Amino acid sequence: MPEINTPLWVDLRSDTVTKPTDAMRQAMFNADVGDDVWGEDPTVRQLEHTLAGMAGMEAGLFMPSGTQSNLVALLTHCGRGDEYIVGQQAHTYKYEGGGAAALGGIQPQPLPMTDFGGLNLDEVEASIKPDDCHFARSRLLCLENTVHGKVLPLEYLLQARTLVDETELKLHLDGARVFNAAIALQCQLQDITRHFDTVSICLSKGLGAPVGSVLLGPAAFIEQAKRWRKVCGGGMRQSGSLAAAGLHALEHHVQRLADDHRRARQLAQRLVSAGYSLEMPQTNILFVRVDGLNREHLAQWLEQHRIKADCLGRDSIRLVTHLDIDDAGLERAAQAFETFMSEGQGT
């Protein structure tokens, strides 16, 4: 516990570090629950129905994590010896433990990602395997939105939909931060999700719920996905208490994502003025280039000022604004970065 009068930490490592608000905790406390494996939890059903309606999908399936939601989608779309086409830096390929290959015998076909976070669709088409016993069967194209804070353009999504229709693939979206994309584009969620066969949406990132993701898609697909959720250990019992947090987030925390985006831009502007090198963020994630910076010194400096940041684990320094960072916290973080540079600590 922090000492009396000691400022709380400002945690910029990720939007996964948020704590439930008091109102969210109350909603969780009041939740009506039942056994969800038997389909008897009314709050879970309400969450699935609500988010499916927002995304224009037929049905939803509540799961403990985004990793499991994406994994179940891949297992349902693809059989053993099948292939999904994916970006080399995408979460479903790089950051989710190789689950599709390890548990489903599904081969990834990774491709380089474009500057805006998508895949070159000509390269996607060229990578689709012919119907030949020498090759894995290409079944699925998997995109991510947002990708490292970048938003896929709506025109690009339409082009991807056209490609999969012409080549008889399915199209899955890892939409962990898809609400950030919708806020950045000033569009409705359905304007993005309508291009996809299935979508995974995370509740525990910018939306601020403590846990959970929802897989969305056709009703028949979701019925098959329920079996894979069970196989993967994702069947939960009285999980309405968790679903209530997600419902509260959908009702109260979507539009406020614009505040996170604003603060990310403000922080980026302060850092550029102080001499740091970075691109202006589109959403709530920014990356500081490390050329000329002593990252170890910076990490120590920030810790002294009770600022948490992902300084050492990546090729660049990732900073993420979120529900638990207000304007005062942002000011503290900006000042810490500024004084580090002004006092010549960066070298």
Determine the pLDDT at residue 254.
98
Domain count of the fold of the chain: 2
DSSP sequence for 293-347 = --HHHHHHHHHHTTEE-B-SSSSSEEEE--TT--HHHHHHHHHHHHHHHHTTTT-
Q: Tell me, yes or no, whether 300 lies in a domain.
A: yes
Determine the pLDDT at residue 224.
98
Are 280 and 318 in a shared domain?
Answer: yes
From 252, 277, 295, the end of a domain falls on 252
Determine the pLDDT at residue 83.
97
Token representation of residue 211 = 């846990």
From 252, 272, 297, the end of a domain falls on 252
Are 190 and 138 in a shared domain?
Answer: yes
Q: Which residues of the chain have pLDDT under 50?
A: 1-2
Are 217 and 116 in a shared domain?
Answer: yes
Helix axes 295-304, 327-342, angle to 10 degrees: 130
138 SS3 class: strand
Q: Tell me, yes or no, whether 331 lies in a domain.
A: yes
Task: Supply the range of the domain harboring residue 298.
Answer: 10-17+256-342
Are 53 and 192 in a shared domain?
Answer: yes
- Cα 81 from Cα 192, distance rounded (Å): 30
Determine the pLDDT at residue 127.
97
- Mention every residue, 6+ apart, whose C-beta is less than 8 A from residue 151: 116, 117, 145, 180, 181, 184, 185, 282, 283
- The per-residue pLDDT for range 291-336, each reduced to its tens digit, is 888 999 999 999 999 999 998 878 899 999 999 999 999 999 999 9
Are 142 and 245 in a shared domain?
Answer: yes
Q: How far is CA 320 from CA 47, 107, 132, in A?
A: 27, 32, 45
What is the phi/psi pair of residue 165, to 5°?
-65, -40
Are 161 and 281 in a shared domain?
Answer: no
CATH number at residue 304: 3.90.1150.10
Q: Tell me, yes or no, whether 212 lies in a domain.
A: yes
Q: Tell me, yes or no, whether 347 lies in a domain.
A: no
Are 162 and 176 in a shared domain?
Answer: yes
Cis peptide before 198 (omega within 30 of 0): no
CATH number at residue 152: 3.40.640.10
Q: Which residue has the tokens 């898609």?
A: 217
Are 235 and 297 in a shared domain?
Answer: no
Count of positions (residues) in the chain: 347
Q: Tell me, yes or no, whether 125 lies in a domain.
A: yes
Are 180 and 205 in a shared domain?
Answer: yes
Determine the pLDDT at residue 6.
60
Are 166 and 305 in a shared domain?
Answer: no
Secondary structure element (H or E) that encloses residue 40, with its range: none
User: 111-149: b or e for each residue (b if 16 or more CB lie within 10 Å)?
Assistant: bebbeebbbebeebeebbeeeeeeebbbbbbbbbbbbbb
Are 186 and 269 in a shared domain?
Answer: no
Q: Tell me, yes or no, whether 185 lies in a domain.
A: yes
Q: Tell me, yes or no, whether 4 lies in a domain.
A: no
Q: Tell me, yes or no, whether 3 lies in a domain.
A: no
SS3 of 63-125: the string is: ECCHHHHHHHHHHHHCCCCEEEEEECCCHHHHHCCCHHHHHHCCEEEEECECCCCCECHHHHH
From 188, 223, 252, the end of a domain falls on 252
Are 245 and 196 in a shared domain?
Answer: yes
- The per-residue pLDDT for range 215-272, each reduced to its tens digit, is 999 999 999 999 999 999 999 999 999 999 999 999 999 999 999 999 999 999 999 9
